[in-house]
Amino acid sequence: MPDAANPRDVAVRRAIHRQAASIVAAVAPFGIVFGASAADSGLSVLQAIGFSTLVFGGSSQFAAVEILGDGGSVASAAIAGLLLNVRSLAFGVVLAPALTGAIWQRAAMSQLMIDESTAVATAQDELRWRRYGYLVAGMGVFVVWNATTVGGHLLFSGAGDLITDLGLDAAGPAAFLALLWPRLRDHRQLRTAVVGGIVAVLLVPLTPPGVPILAAMIGVLAGRPGVPADRGDAS
Amino acid sequence: MSAPTLVLIVLAAGTFGLKAAGPLALGNRELPVRMQRVVDVLPAALLAALALVSTLGDGRALTVDARLVGLVAAGLALWRRAPFVVAILVAAAATAAARAVG
């Protein structure tokens, strides 16, 4: 565990709490919208909570519920939802060194694996802080996501306009950019980010949702993993 | 069993597998050096993709709307060394303003 008396540890922990808090706050409006759209698609409040606890992946939940609401088949709803979660495979590879422990611990911790917890984790340099950031952000989002799902289901609808009026739908993208920012000083990271971002955007019209994010992994080649380099300026 | 419950079960089981695969398969082993270098830069690719696709993506279409104003504003704020929370609030405010004007 981090040393409570060590000033650097205190500072890092505070920074992680700040990152996690703003990300959790950004998730709340979308939880409300998910709850509302679940209600709109004819899901019971229990089914809505089931999605938010057991699937726990915003975009895949939205996709599955939207397809159900439009009268789509069980298969198409499930496959669309799964495709949006395929990026968890990549997140898992990135996070595995930080998520060590007994097999049941690794299985349990992996369920908090979402964009937000992965982003906070990977913004940290040391493995122990990656783990801490992952757990803090993951648990924070889990609690707020489920609470707001229930709230949104009960409120039913009307939140969609408010979210866009307040510009809160830009909070997610901005959070991803803010977490990426410190990496961009390193040329290897910058090249990777540019190529990955371009590939993903170009693939949006061509592939099913979720695939562009996964395909962005190609950007790693631009980071030239075969070439050794000093890692001194990586952070 | 109702359709939503069926989708829930299939999606939850499949998602569990996708999420657990990395931590369970790799276990407590260290990654080889070459693999480690890939993992070091991989988040940059994913974060850039997430930021851009969630800004420009609209289902399977690409659109330029007020969200892009927010992302650019966040970028400017970060460039001026704004803290994390400030960058997010600037993005939301800029997007809301762009919508109010446009």
> Does residue B78 fall inside a structural domain?
no
User: Quick check: A130 contacting B, CB < 8 Å?
Assistant: no
> Does residue B13 fall inside a structural domain?
yes
Supply the pLDDT for residue A189: 94
Q: Has this prediction a pTM greater than 0.90?
A: no
**Is there a contact between A180 and B47 if contact means CB atoms under 8 Å apart?**
yes
Contact yes or no for A87/A211 (Cβ under 8 A): no
User: Quick check: A28 contacting B, CB < 8 Å?
Assistant: no
Tokens 């480690």 — which residue? B36
Quote the minimal CA–CA distance from B6 to chain A in Å: 7
> Does residue B17 fall inside a structural domain?
yes
Predicted-complex ipTM score: 0.83
> Does residue B43 fall inside a structural domain?
no
- Facing A96 at nearest CB: one of B26, B54, B62: B26
Residues in chain B: 102
Contact yes or no for A10/A126 (Cβ under 8 A): no
Supply the pLDDT for residue B28: 62
**Is there a contact between A194 and B84 if contact means CB atoms under 8 Å apart?**
no
Supply the pLDDT for residue A156: 60
Q: How far apart are CA A167 and CA B100, in angstroms?
A: 10
R_g (Cα) of chain A, nearest Å: 19
B:36-65 residues touching chain A, CB 8 A cutoff: 37-57, 59-62
Flag residues of chain B having pLDDT under 70.
27-31
Q: How far apart are CA B99 and CA B91, in angstroms?
A: 12
> Does residue B52 fall inside a structural domain?
no
Supply the pLDDT for residue A205: 93
Q: What single-letter DSSP state applies at residue B29?
A: P
User: Quick check: A106 contacting B, CB < 8 Å?
Assistant: yes
> Does residue B36 fall inside a structural domain?
no
Supply the pLDDT for residue A234: 40
CA dihedral A126, A117, B67, A204 (to 10 degrees): 100
> Does residue B71 fall inside a structural domain?
no
Q: How many domains does chain B have?
A: 1
Contact yes or no for A208/A80 (Cβ under 8 A): yes
pLDDT tens for chain A, 235 residues: list them. 556 678 889 999 999 999 999 889 888 877 887 888 788 788 999 999 999 999 999 878 987 887 787 777 888 888 878 877 877 888 898 899 999 999 999 999 999 999 899 999 999 989 999 999 999 999 999 999 999 999 988 886 555 566 678 777 787 788 789 889 988 999 999 999 999 999 999 999 998 777 787 788 899 899 876 676 554 444 3
Dihedral pair phi/psi, residue A134, rounded to 5°: -60, -50
> Does residue B11 fall inside a structural domain?
yes
Supply the pLDDT for residue B78: 96
Supply the pLDDT for residue A73: 81
Supply the pLDDT for residue A233: 41
Question: What is the domain extent for residue B10?
Answer: 1-30
Tokens 């994390």 — which residue? B84
Q: Which long-range contacts (CB under 8 A, 24 or more apart) does A81-84 make?
A: A81/A55, A81/A57, A81/B7, A81/B11, A81/B14, A81/B15, A82/B10, A82/B11, A82/B14, A82/B15, A82/B18, A83/A208, A83/A209, A83/A210, A83/A211, A84/A57, A84/A59, A84/A60, A84/A209, A84/A210
